[in-house]
């Protein structure tokens, strides 16, 4: 069982280190970890944010554990050399189109949510974010018009097949949960969203047991804080899913808690090939100071064991250890506590 470990930039390095320590503490027979540079770290060392060797390592592994990429010192670079292109490149090159971003309130964290405790307690949802299409991957440019004014544009598009495959993932996820699916779009304005909605309705015929609703994204953002308990599985496009998942993180306490899995259709000997990462970024404001909460990455490692390596008991074990640490008051600075990155890693390991 081979895991490609790509820590990346900023706190990506620190949080990945803790997740790796947790995996190593489980002492899993036959597990090998191979490391590679990605993001600004890779650009500085190899001249590219996603060097061919990193991509090949990722492709040849059973799963990828990813930290975060991003460095404001790279903002002046041409877009294809910027750190963020590395994660976009991995997602598209490896056809990891389905991004699962679960948000559940851990016991004892009611008071940490941005919502009132009685509302926060109801949150148990998963955002299924499409990851290979949308405005992220369309043509884009900043061009100069004849009158000298500059115009920036990004093409938003989805094909039927792109929507169909993510819809199937979402309906199957709903089947394994409370059988409710909410498709979030902006069909009142966008043709891309109209097609999205049409295709989701078509796919729904194959899942009569799942209740399907549609919601415009602006309303969904409002409902997520007003009444998050109404959501079970939320399926949405790349851009809306990016935004709504950061918002969902504050509903359960912190962006330092939200894990994610990026999956495709490829099966390995042990499970579904995938990339696992916290939903947060490289957080340059706290990087290198032992201030980052590694729990999102540790929980991503648990998702990796469950989905890609078929090690369900061990995944449960990690999740229980995180939950136990939180219940015992091991809170990072993001949750109003004082525990540092390393200390949180130790607390999880001691509870495994």
Ligand X SMILES: NC(=O)c1ccc[n+]([C@@H]2O[C@H](COP(=O)([O-])OP(=O)(O)OC[C@H]3O[C@@H](n4cnc5c(N)ncnc54)[C@H](O)[C@@H]3O)[C@@H](O)[C@H]2O)c1
Ligand Y SMILES: CC(C)[C@H](C(=O)O)[C@@H](O)C(=O)O
Catalytic residue ranges = 136, 186, 218, 242, 246
Residue 41: what are its φ and ψ, rounded to 5°?
-60, -40
Cβ of 155: how many Cβ atoms within 10 Å?
12
Residue 7 in contact with ligand X, rule: CB under 6 A: no
Q: Which of 191, 285, 316, 338 binds ligand X (CB under 6 A)?
A: 285
Shortest Å distance, C-beta 279 to ligand Y: 5
Shortest Å distance, C-beta 336 to ligand X: 11
Nearest to 298 by CA among 328, 256, 333: 256
| Binding at 293: pick from ligand X, ligand Y, Mg ion, none (beta carbon under 5-8 Å per type) | ligand X
Q: Which of 4, 6, 38, 88 binds ligand Y (CB under 6 A)?
A: 88
Window 258-317: residues binding ligand Y (CB under 6 A): 279, 281
Beta bridge partners of 8: 68
69 or 182, CB closer to ligand X? 69
Residue 89 in contact with ligand X, rule: CB under 6 A: no
| Binding at 187: pick from ligand Y, Mg ion, ligand X, none (beta carbon under 5-8 Å per type) | none
Q: In whole angstroms, give the CA distance from residue 192 to residue 263.
A: 23
Residue 68 in contact with ligand X, rule: CB under 6 A: yes
Binding mask 224-253 for ligand Y (x = CB under 6 A): ------------------x-----------
Do the bridges between strand 150-154 and strand 140-144 make them parallel or antiparallel, or are there none, so unpaired? antiparallel
Side-chain half-sphere CA neighbours of 336 within 13 A: 10
Q: In whole angstroms, give the CA distance from residue 68 to residue 139.
A: 25
The helix/strand/coil state of 124 is strand
| Binding at 88: pick from Mg ion, ligand X, ligand Y, none (beta carbon under 5-8 Å per type) | ligand Y
Q: In whole angstroms, give the CA distance from residue 35 to residue 7.
A: 8
**Given the rule CB under 6 A, which residues bind ligand Y?**
84, 87-88, 242, 279, 281
């Amino acid at each position: 069982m081979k895991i490609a470990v790509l820590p990346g930039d900023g706190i990506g390095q620190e949080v990945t280190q803790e997740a790796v320590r947790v995996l190593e503490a489980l002492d899993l027979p036959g597990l090998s970890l191979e490391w590679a540079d990605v993001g600004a770290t890779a650009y500085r060392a190899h001249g590219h944010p996603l060097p061919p060797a990193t991509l090949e390592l990722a492709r040849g592994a059973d799963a990828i554990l990813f930290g975060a990429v991003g460095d404001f010192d790279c903002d002046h670079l041409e877009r294809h050399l910027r750190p963020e292109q590395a994660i976009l490149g991995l997602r598209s090159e490896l056809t990891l189109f389905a991004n699962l971003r679960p948000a559940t309130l851990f016991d004892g964290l009611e008071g940490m949510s941005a919502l009132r405790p009685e509302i926060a307690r109801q949150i148990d949802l998963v955002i299924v974010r499409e990851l290979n299409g949308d405005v992220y991957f369309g043509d884009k440019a900043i061009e100069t018009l004849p009158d000298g004014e500059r115009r920036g544009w990004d093409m938003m598009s989805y094909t039927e097949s792109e929507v169909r495959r993510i819809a199937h993932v979402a309906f199957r996820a709903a089947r394994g949960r409370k059988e409710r699916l909410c498709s979030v779009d902006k069909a009142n304005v966008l043709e891309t969203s109209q097609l999205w909605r049409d295709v989701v309705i078509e796919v729904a015929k194959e899942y009569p047991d799942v209740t399907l609703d549609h919601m415009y994204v602006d309303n969904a953002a409002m409902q997520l804080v007003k009444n998050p308990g109404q959501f079970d599985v939320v399926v949405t496009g790349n851009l809306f899913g990016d935004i709504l998942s950061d918002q969902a993180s504050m509903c359960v306490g912190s962006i330092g808690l939200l894990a994610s899995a990026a999956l495709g259709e490829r099966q390995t000997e042990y499970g579904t090939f995938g990339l696992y990462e916290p939903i947060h970024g490289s957080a340059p404001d706290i990087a290198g100071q032992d201030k980052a909460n590694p729990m999102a990455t540790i929980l991503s490692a648990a998702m990796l064991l469950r989905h890609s390596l078929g090690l369900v008991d061990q995944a449960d074990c990690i999740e229980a250890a995180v939950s136990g640490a939180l219940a015992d008051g091991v809170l990072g600075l993001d949750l109003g506590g004082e525990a540092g990155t390393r200390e949180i890693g130790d607390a999880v390991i001691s509870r495994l």
